[in-house]
């Protein structure tokens, strides 16, 4: 996903998700040209990339920050055209806000968990609400989940998972396609209460446009390795409704078979168990 980040008379075409205003101020500070004539290096593991300053027709977001100079007429016209297409343009104070502090450390900034050849998997923040709502409000995506999420429910969902990152070291994370910078889904290891037994389960939710590309399997393998190698879990379960054929096939591609039927979330589920000492899915990569 591409957007335009504007600071006074300057602008940057950016590949990545919509940043919140605080993150946008930091990005401007990184990308402004200092006296030495070169941009400051990006901190590691951040999801944004400056593309160039050429105008683009497919910009999906815009952030305008106050600067010492006025926004150029050409950029102002581009922003007006974007707003005419229904693109939301955020506006806020310039990049030298005192609340920013001196660096990225200590912010509630998205922490990258793991990367695969095609995917970057990171924590969610409230600035991701719009992207998450596109998934959790899609009837096809949520067919086997049992309900749809509106804007309020999405923000509560994200807040809950932010709390779980601190409590458990895991939850649903955001999955980003490296090539395009687009958010393609969610995946992670989530605390689950299954018939009075505390378990940690693998979960995944992907946008329809990214189905049948093997991304869910790629993300699932990475999340399982994280659970076993980083979190020290001995086992991770996968609960799948019997009628959910795609998820059943994915579980089988991870090298496991259903062990029993359980009641979870008001529905009957097949329960698969992936064990740390029997990772058959690694042999299939």
Say if residue 179's pLDDT is above 50: yes
pLDDT of residue 37: 43
pLDDT of residue 110: 54
Q: What is the pLDDT of residues 3-62, one digit of tens each?
A: 999 998 888 898 888 988 888 887 887 776 544 344 445 555 578 888 876 777 789 999
The mean pLDDT of the chain is 85
Task: Specify the DSSP element, H or E, that contains 219.
Answer: helix 215-225
What confidence tier does 106 reach under pLDDT thresholds 50, 70, 90?
Answer: very low
pLDDT of residue 99: 57
Spell out the domains of the chain, with CATH numbers in brackets. 2-100 (no CATH), 112-283 (3.40.630.30)
What confidence tier does 198 reach under pLDDT thresholds 50, 70, 90?
Answer: very high
Say if residue 210's pLDDT is above 80: yes
Better-scored residue on pLDDT, 265 or 80? 80
Say if residue 68's pLDDT is above 90: no
The three state secondary structure string of 119-179 is EEEECCCHHHHHHHHHHHCCCCCCCCCCCCCCHHHHHHHHHHHHHHHHHHCCCEEEEEECC
DSSP conformation class of 38: S
Residue 277, CA distances (Å) to 30, 35, 102, 116, 227 in order: 45, 55, 45, 22, 12
- Taking the C-alpha atoms of 230, 231, 236 and 240 in order, what is their torsion angle to the nearest 10 degrees? -90
Q: What is the pLDDT of residues 158-174, one digit of tens each?
A: 989 988 988 899 999 99
Distance CA 206, CA 208 (A): 6
pLDDT of residue 265: 85
């Amino acid at each position: 996903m591409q957007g335009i980040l504007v600071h006074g008379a300057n602008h940057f075409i950016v590949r990545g998700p919509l940043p919140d205003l605080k993150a946008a101020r930091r990005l401007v500070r990184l990308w402004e040209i200092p006296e030495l004539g070169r941009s400051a290096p990006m901190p590691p593991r951040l999801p944004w990339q400056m593309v160039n300053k050429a105008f683009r027709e497919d910009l999906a977001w815009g952030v305008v920050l106050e600067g010492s100079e006025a926004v150029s007429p050409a950029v102002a016209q581009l922003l007006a055209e974007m707003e005419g297409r229904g693109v939301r343009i955020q506006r806020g104070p310039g990049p030298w806000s005192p609340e920013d502090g001196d660096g990225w450390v200590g912010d509630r900034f998205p922490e990258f968990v793991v990367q695969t050849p095609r995917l970057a998997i990171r924590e969610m923040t409230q600035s991701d609400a719009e992207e998450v709502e596109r998934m959790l409000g899609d009837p096809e995506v949520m067919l086997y989940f049992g309900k749809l999420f509106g804007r309020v429910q999405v923000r509560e969902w994200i807040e809950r998972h932010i709390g779980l990152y601190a409590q458990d070291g895991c939850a649903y994370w955001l999955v980003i396609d490296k090539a395009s910078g687009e958010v393609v889904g969610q995946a992670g290891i989530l605390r689950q209460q299954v018939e009075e037994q505390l378990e940690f389960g693998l979960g995944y939710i992907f946008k329809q446009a990214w189905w049948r590309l093997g991304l869910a399997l790629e993300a699932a393998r990475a999340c399982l390795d994280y659970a076993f190698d980083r979190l020290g879990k001995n086992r991770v379960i996968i609960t799948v409704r019997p009628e959910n054929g795609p998820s059943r096939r994915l579980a089988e591609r991870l090298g496991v078979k259903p062990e029993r039927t359980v009641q979870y979330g008001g529905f009957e589920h097949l329960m698969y168990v992936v064990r740390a000492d029997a990772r058959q899915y690694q042999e299939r990569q």
